[in-house]
Amino acid sequence: MTDAISSFGAVGRPVSIHTDDAAKARLKGRYRAETWFKWLGAAAVALAGLFLLLLLSTIVTQAIPALRQNYLTLPIDLSAAKVDPAKLDAVNYDAIAQEALTAKFPDVTSRQDKRLLRGLISTGTGVFLRKDIAADPGMLGKTVDYAVPLDDFADLYLKGLLADVGSDEAISTSVTPSQTSGDIDLTFGDAAMLALARGHGATEGENGMLTLTSGASSLLVAFNSGTVKLTALSPGANGTAVAKGTVIEALDSTAPAASGQAFLRVIDTPEASRKISDKVIVWLDTLKSAGLIESRFNSIFFFTGASREPELAGVWGAVVGSFLTMIVTLAIAFPIGVSAAIYLEEFAPKNRLTTIIEVNINNLAAVPSIVFGLLGLAVFLNFFGLPRSAPVVGGMVLALMTLPIIIIASRASLRAVPPSIREAALGIGASKVQTVFHHVLPLAMPGIMTGTILGMAHALGETAPLLMIGMVAFIVDIPGGFTDPATILPVQIFMWADFPEAGFQQKTSAAILILLVFLVIMNAIAVILRRRFERRW
Amino acid sequence: MNIMTEASVEQKLSTGTNEPSIKMKGEKVSVHYGEKRALFDVDLDVRENQVTALIGPSGCGKSTFLRCLNRMNDTIDIARVSGKITLDNEDVYDPKIDVVELRARVGMVFQKPNPFPKSIYENVAYGPRIHGLARSKAELDGIVESSLKKAGLFNEVKDRLLESGTGLSGGQQQRLCIARAIAVSPEVILMDEPCSALDPIATARVEELIDELRQNYTIVIVTHSMQQAARVSQRTAMFHLGYLVEEGATDKMFTNPDDKRTQDYITGRFG
């Protein structure tokens, strides 16, 4: 009997439609659907999180190299013989810096090599030098150690972005050179080098001859304070190997280097598929091992305007342009948007006209932003003749775009203020305007601010409409006012992404990162406002 | 439909001589919400320094009538009021009447306590401030204190006047709302089910307060509680389906009503 009672629907109890087998199956099915839905939801969230992580990690890893810049310290001769203190502007500072650099490599003699060597330092060196001298005339009249920014290719190589370079390995046999410079022969004590060259893509010729073309890895042998680049190898007598090579850095003697005295450096990326030659690599390595190169925080990137030279390009101009544009946008969109929302929500009679206006405002929020750009071009530039590329026009166009967002958000938060507050104020004789401005608006303000900030963040990331009004122009100067030509962050990113120089790749990512930081800050403020002032009735 | 029996009209007229004077008077008051008619030709007098209770089942139009008295129905776009309502023989719907002034004279307390989300002090001081009733801070402080005292709240909140009014208990909030209404020195106070959101103890407290306030103010109260109407009011008006069924002295209404519907409602047979 106890068994019968213990289960529902068993003997002694009427079977209910909620306890029979079909009901149990239904219940089970419901739980199964619930579990499925839960897992689907979790999977969707996980996938979204994964994509976000992928996006952020890609941008961050790409951007990090751009945060630092390599500087080369050179002894710059600023004696009166080179720089006339009376005519500071007439001096060719670039030439002075280049002289200091070529002096470091006395055996670089050919025109072509010299040009290559001069290219190691940034073309902006002269400008920096002139500015610093103007700021500190005490530098004049002597030789000063001055750090100049490296050219973008040199900089990228030192960051490890242009070529895969293996570490120096000691050669466990003797190396004997035939000469100290030019094309020389090197004799290795054993044949190990042959196998190594084969492993690195050397092409086999007759009689076991191995040729290292520009399509193979570069093998550099450093000894006797010089560097030789191997071009071909062949087996020698008594199990030795003979290599032909080009001296990149002169050796100091033809004395044989004992086992462990010579070092082999392998540059895995073939010379043909990288934008930096073996020569330049050797020069940079020499300068680096001499302790003349240091990596510094890239203040150029953060605090200068745009440039066609990657190492000289900065975001500050775009940041200032964005800031000026946002000020104009806020100054126009916020008061107009909030006023419109207050009128429509609190004062406007509910008739056909206001309904049409409402519907159109909602539709405006869905208009593609480039249409606003066209409108700005046609009305602000062509009809009113406002200046092209100026933050004032950009701000006006973005304000048009932000207006519906602010109006909709403001109306929503005005509507969220409970009617009991309005009744309370009206009930003690407050006028409509007093009710709205003393009670309703302050309570709606956090919501309005949140909506405004989100609208502004939206505007900050907008590119298309500003292309139409010419804010895509290449502008080097930092804009000083609302009517100066300027560009903005997203447009700057757009332009940099378009530039072919390898150095801009990192700058693009870093600029995206800066834009994201601003957006995150704005969104965080919106969230904090909402949390801080959220009120429950 | 027969709004008032001949007898009740006669009775009202005959007892009129020793009754207090009429403060507000509604004549043929009708209200339409759009196409829907909510109130049908209501004639009702509100007498000075008395509590008039409006009773009736839900949706009978008693709140609608109450909201006509200080023109709160103006805030509803689709509401249309016809007929005549006077305050001291002045038509309150006269275009010359300023609605702000009217509402200062006819204050209101709502069903749900609705203090402003500001300090207790600010809640009470707001009315006098917008009407310019105090010339100095000291005077304003005085108004706030006396209003809170009249509402029987001062002793409970005197040490936390600057704390938020929404932090008070429900009963305290409702008394704060009454203090806020009193602070403007109205002549009439309209109360729309002021105790419906309160527990019995808070209700008793507010009812006591209403009885005290009767000395200085004319009060119209809408209530769902028969007992409450019987306890606090001197006159009672019974509404049903938008019509005023019957109106008279509370004692008579609850013991010997003329209309059967009133009797049925009071004895709990409908509503």
- pLDDT for residue A13: 61
8 Å CB contact between A72 and A148: yes
Position of tokens 């109890």?
A: A13
Q: Is B78 exposed, middle or buried (0-12, 13-18, 19+ CB in 10 A)?
A: exposed
Domain count, chain B: 1
Residues in chain A with CB shorter than 8 Å from the CB of B127 are 428-430
Q: Which helix (H) or strand (E) holds A453?
A: helix A441-460
Confidence of residue A374 (pLDDT cuts 50, 70, 90): very high
Question: A337: Cβ–Cβ under 8 A, 6 or more apart, which residues?
Answer: A402, A403, A405, A406, A407, A410, A452, A455
- Domain-terminating residue out of A274, A304, A333: A274
Nearest to A282 by CA among A403, A64, A108, A123: A108
Interatomic CA distance for residues A196 and A193, integer angstroms: 5
**Pair (A404, A491) in one structural domain:** yes
- pLDDT for residue B9: 45
- pLDDT for residue B14: 44
Which parts of B161-199 fold into alpha helices (H)?
170-183
Position of tokens 């139409």?
A: A468
8 Å CB contact between B116 and B125: no
What's the sign of the alpha-carbon dihedral A256, A259, A262, A267?
positive
Q: Distance, in angstroms, between A433 CA and closest chain B CA? A: 11
Answer whether residue B27 is part of any domain: yes
Q: Is the pLDDT of residue B12 over 70?
A: no
Average pLDDT over residues A40-50: 97
For residue A427, give the nearest of B77, B101, B108 by CB distance: B108
Q: Is the pLDDT of residue A353 over 60?
A: yes
Q: Is the pLDDT of residue A132 over 60?
A: yes
What values do phi and psi take at B147, rounded to 5?
-65, -45
**Pair (A258, A318) in one structural domain:** no
Q: Which residue of A has its CA nearest to B130?
A: A430
Is the CB of B107 inside 8 Å of chain A's CB atoms?
Answer: yes
Residues in chain B with CB shorter than 8 Å from the CB of A443 are 117
Structure tokens at B56: 């009736």
- pLDDT for residue A20: 87
Nearest to B267 by CA among A305, A190, B257: B257
Chain pair A-B, CB pairs under 8 angstroms: 66
**Pair (A268, A316) in one structural domain:** no
Domain residues for the domain of B182 are 6-266
Contact B75 A423 (CB under 8 A): yes
Interatomic CA distance for residues A131 and A176, integer angstroms: 50
Q: Is the pLDDT of residue B5 over 80?
A: no
Average pLDDT over residues B26-45: 92
Contact A429 B126 (CB under 8 A): no
Q: Distance, in angstroms, between A425 CA and closest chain B CA? A: 8
Residues in chain A with CB shorter than 8 Å from the CB of B75 are 422-423, 426
Answer whether residue A395 is part of any domain: yes
Residues in chain B with CB shorter than 8 Å from the CB of A424 are 110, 114-116, 177, 180
- pLDDT for residue B4: 45
- pLDDT for residue A316: 94
- pLDDT for residue B6: 47
Residues in chain B with CB shorter than 8 Å from the CB of A420 are 110, 112, 114
* Cα atoms in the Cβ-side hemisphere of radius 13 Å centred on A296: 16
For residue B184, give the nearest of A418, A422, A429 by CB distance: A429
Percent of chain A clearing pLDDT 70 (strictly above): 97
Percent of chain A clearing pLDDT 90 (strictly above): 56
For residue B247, the SS3 value is strand
Q: Is the pLDDT of residue B190 over 60?
A: yes
Residues in chain A with CB shorter than 8 Å from the CB of B131 are 429
Confidence of residue B13 (pLDDT cuts 50, 70, 90): very low
Confidence of residue A379 (pLDDT cuts 50, 70, 90): very high
* Cα atoms in the Cβ-side hemisphere of radius 13 Å centred on A362: 8
Answer whether residue A62 is part of any domain: no
Give the A-side interface with B, CB within 8 Å.
349-350, 418, 420-431, 434, 438-439, 443, 535
Contact A430 B181 (CB under 8 A): no
Interatomic CA distance for residues B214 and B211, integer angstroms: 5
Residues in chain A with CB shorter than 8 Å from the CB of B70 are 427
Is the CB of B54 inside 8 Å of chain A's CB atoms?
Answer: no
Answer whether residue A116 is part of any domain: no
Per-residue pLDDT tens for B208-220?
Answer: 999 999 999 999 9
For residue B184, give the nearest of A428, A439, A443 by CB distance: A428
Confidence of residue A507 (pLDDT cuts 50, 70, 90): very high
Contact A424 B110 (CB under 8 A): yes
User: Got the DSSP string for A64-121?
Assistant: GGGGEEEEEEEEEE-STTT--TT-GGG--HHHHHHHHHHTT-TT--SHHHHHHHHTTB
Per-residue pLDDT tens for A159-170?
Answer: 988 888 877 888
Q: Is the pLDDT of residue A367 over 70?
A: yes
Interatomic CA distance for residues A220 and A236, integer angstroms: 20
- pLDDT for residue A536: 56
- pLDDT for residue A149: 93
Answer whether residue B1 is part of any domain: no
Q: Is A263 exposed, middle or buried (0-12, 13-18, 19+ CB in 10 A)?
A: middle
What's the sign of the alpha-carbon dihedral A358, A359, A362, A364?
negative
Residues present in chain B in total = 271
Looking at per-residue pLDDT, the higher value among A308 and A6 belongs to: A308
Answer whether residue A45 is part of any domain: no
pTM of the model: 0.83
Domain count, chain A: 2
- pLDDT for residue B10: 44
Portion 182-211 of B in contact with A at CB < 8 A: 183-184
**Pair (A230, A351) in one structural domain:** no
8 Å CB contact between B124 and B142: no
Structure tokens at B179: 């203090």
8 Å CB contact between B97 and B91: yes
Confidence of residue B142 (pLDDT cuts 50, 70, 90): very high
Mutate to test the interface with A, among B130, B174, B180 (most CBs of A within 10 A): B130
Confidence of residue B271 (pLDDT cuts 50, 70, 90): low
Contact B104 A429 (CB under 8 A): yes
Average pLDDT over residues B140-152: 93
**CATH classification at residue B261:** 3.40.50.300
- pLDDT for residue A439: 93
Average pLDDT value for chain A: 89
**Pair (A266, A364) in one structural domain:** no
For residue A426, give the nearest of B77, B103, B109 by CB distance: B103
Answer whether residue A54 is part of any domain: no
Contact A424 B104 (CB under 8 A): no
- pLDDT for residue B18: 61
- pLDDT for residue A258: 87
Structure tokens at B231: 């306890």
Is the CB of B180 inside 8 Å of chain A's CB atoms?
Answer: yes
**Pair (A325, A257) in one structural domain:** no
Q: Which of A317-326, B18-27, B94-103 holds the top average pLDDT?
A: A317-326
- pLDDT for residue A537: 52
Per-residue pLDDT tens for A5-34?
Answer: 444 445 556 678 888 889 999 999 999 999
**β-strand partners of A451:** none
- pLDDT for residue A12: 58
Average pLDDT over residues A333-347: 95
- Domain-terminating residue out of A259, A274, A289: A274
Contact B114 A438 (CB under 8 A): no
Per-residue pLDDT tens for B230-252?
Answer: 999 999 999 999 999 999 999 99
Answer whether residue B271 is part of any domain: no
Answer whether residue A160 is part of any domain: no
- pLDDT for residue A2: 46
Long-range contacts of A444-447 (CB under 8 A, 24+ apart): A444/A410, A444/A413, A444/A414, A444/A416, A444/A417, A445/A413, A445/A533, A446/A413, A446/A529, A446/A530, A446/A532, A446/A533, A446/A534, A446/A535, A447/A409, A447/A410, A447/A412, A447/A413, A447/A416, A447/A530
Per-residue pLDDT tens for A189-215?
Answer: 888 888 888 888 888 888 788 888 888
Residues in chain A with CB shorter than 8 Å from the CB of B112 are 420
Q: Which residue of B has its CA nearest to A439?
A: B116
Q: Is A410 exposed, middle or buried (0-12, 13-18, 19+ CB in 10 A)?
A: buried
Interatomic CA distance for residues A430 and B128, integer angstroms: 10
Nearest to A444 by CA among A427, A424, A421: A421
**Pair (A372, A228) in one structural domain:** no
**Pair (A269, A409) in one structural domain:** no
Answer whether residue B168 is part of any domain: yes
Greatest C-alpha distance within chain A:
119
Average pLDDT over residues B91-108: 91
**CATH classification at residue A522:** 1.10.3720.10
Answer whether residue A95 is part of any domain: no
Q: Distance, in angstroms, between B107 CA and closest chain A CA? A: 6
Rg (CA), chain B: 19
Domain residues for the domain of A526 are 312-533
